[in-house]
Amino acid sequence: MSGNWAPQRDNAVPGLPHLTVDDYLQGLLVRDRGVLARAITLIESSRPDDQQMARELVNRVLPHTGKSMRIGMTGMPGAGKSALIDSFGSFLTAHSHRVAVLSIDPSSARSGGSLLGDETRMVRLSTDPNAFIRPSPSGLLLGGVARQTRETMLLCEAAGSDIVLVETVGVGQSETTVAEMTDFLMVLMVAGAGDELQGIKRGLLEVADLIAITKADGDNVVRAKQAAAKYAFAMNLLADPEQGIAPVVTCSSLEGTGVEEIWKIICDRTAERERSGYLKRRRSEQNAKWMWTLVDQHIHDMLRQSPEVSAVANQAAAQVLAGALSPVMGSDRIIRALFDRASPHASSRPPWSIS
């Protein structure tokens, strides 16, 4: 098996014969980029038949996953996430790593599609044969991640990626959400945007493994160093000693400075966590959270896919909008309809129902 991903096969072109689960699995294992792209499209599909095939595919690839380093990257809009990934990813591929970038774009409220198209901003990495970039719409989910980010990571690992970078929208609860699916979380901050310490949140201190002050080049070098000193002081003052203190570094995507230091910190912290058994425990806990996330998603899917439940939900929403029904009672009707849909022979009133 070569170091690079194999070129796209003919049957990975849209419009050619449908692939079976075996076709997808074999294509992934030989690092077929076209099959990988189609497999991700499959798991992002909302069609019931596609979802069934996607679940089977994920189960089949599991024995071939888990050997990559999963790195999350988040930060405020404009912090330079895409630019740093382009620089950092190119550094990694130059050192014989195979990198997958899952770039989560904001979604259009009308179409649900991606808005930014981050691949266009990763000029070097997008043409690198040892890199695979997949922009995906967030689907308007809290946390700025796509619904199938976890499954997509597994597919990329099965296709030979030894490093998976997850770039988030950087809004809401993105830090916590991404931390729950990666091994290492890098939070990007930018100097010169006002009082730097205003950007620090307690939740951020609890999940960040590294804070990188970006755009430390040109006239901004001094401001970046000053911001780094403030963040380092705050991290030492407020961080939980048992969790370790997240280091603070400055970097420049334009000049490529700080990238090697970031990689060394990631490697050192990961090696330490592997020795202590923390990494294994963390991934086990992430799998449990993934399971409950799938349960939540299934409930939402039932709302959309069941005509009976959808009718009850639409009627309740209309009555709440008109002021004829309270939100509490409206939610109770929808839950009752879901319960009846799942257990048609059981009592029509779930145990949590309001009298």
Which domain CATH number covers 171? 3.40.50.300
Q: Residues 237, 326: one domain?
A: no
Question: In the listed set 232, 249, 276, which residue is the last one of a domain according to the structure?
Answer: 276
- Looking at residue 141, its pLDDT comes to 46
DSSP string, 247-267: PEEE-BTTTTBTHHHHHHHHH
∠ at Cα 289 (269, 313), nearest 5°?
145
pTM: 0.81
- Shared domain check, 318 and 178: no
- Same domain, yes or no, for 149 and 118? yes
One domain for residues 136 and 213: yes
Q: The domain that contains 33 carries what CATH number? A: 1.20.5.170
For the chain, the domain total comes to 3
Structural domain range at position 320: 285-342
Query: Is residue 194 in a domain?
Result: yes
- Residues with Cβ within 8 Å of 180's Cβ and at least 6 positions away in sequence, in order, are 286, 289
Q: How many CB atoms lie within 10 A of CB 310?
A: 15
pLDDT in tens, the chain (355 residues): 344 555 544 444 455 568 999 999 999 999 999 999 999 999 988 788 898 999 999 999 999 999 999 999 988 778 889 999 999 999 999 999 999 999 876 544 444 444 444 555 788 999 999 999 998 765 544 444 556 889 999 999 999 999 999 988 665 556 677 888 999 999 998 886 555 555 566 667 678 899 999 999 999 999 999 999 988 888 887 766 656 788 999 999 999 999 999 999 999 999 999 999 999 999 999 999 888 888 887 787 777 778 888 899 999 999 999 999 999 999 999 989 888 876 655 444 444 343 3
> What is the predicted pLDDT for the residue at 105?
62
Which residue, of 35, 63, 91, is where some domain finishes? 63
**Are 129 and 152 in a shared domain?**
yes
Residues 98, 4 share a domain: no
What was the pLDDT predicted at 194? 52
Q: Do 101 and 230 fall into the same domain?
A: yes
| Same domain, yes or no: 187 and 251 | yes
> Are 184 and 209 in a shared domain?
yes
Assigned domain for 347 exists: no
Q: Is 99 left (phi over 0), alpha (psi -120 to 50) or beta?
A: beta
Residue found by looking up tokens 């901004």 in the block: 220
The H or E element that residue 99 is part of is: strand 99-105
> Does 145 reside within a domain?
yes
- Chain-centre distance for alpha carbon 34: 21
pLDDT of residue 296: 83
Q: What is the pLDDT of residue 190?
A: 85
* Cβ proximity of 144 and 74 under 8 Å: yes
Q: Are residues 140 and 155 in the same domain?
A: yes
Final residue belonging to a domain, choices 232, 247, 276: 276
Q: Which of 248, 219, 216 is nearest to 234 (CA)?
A: 248
- Statement to judge: residues 128 and 224 lie in one domain: yes
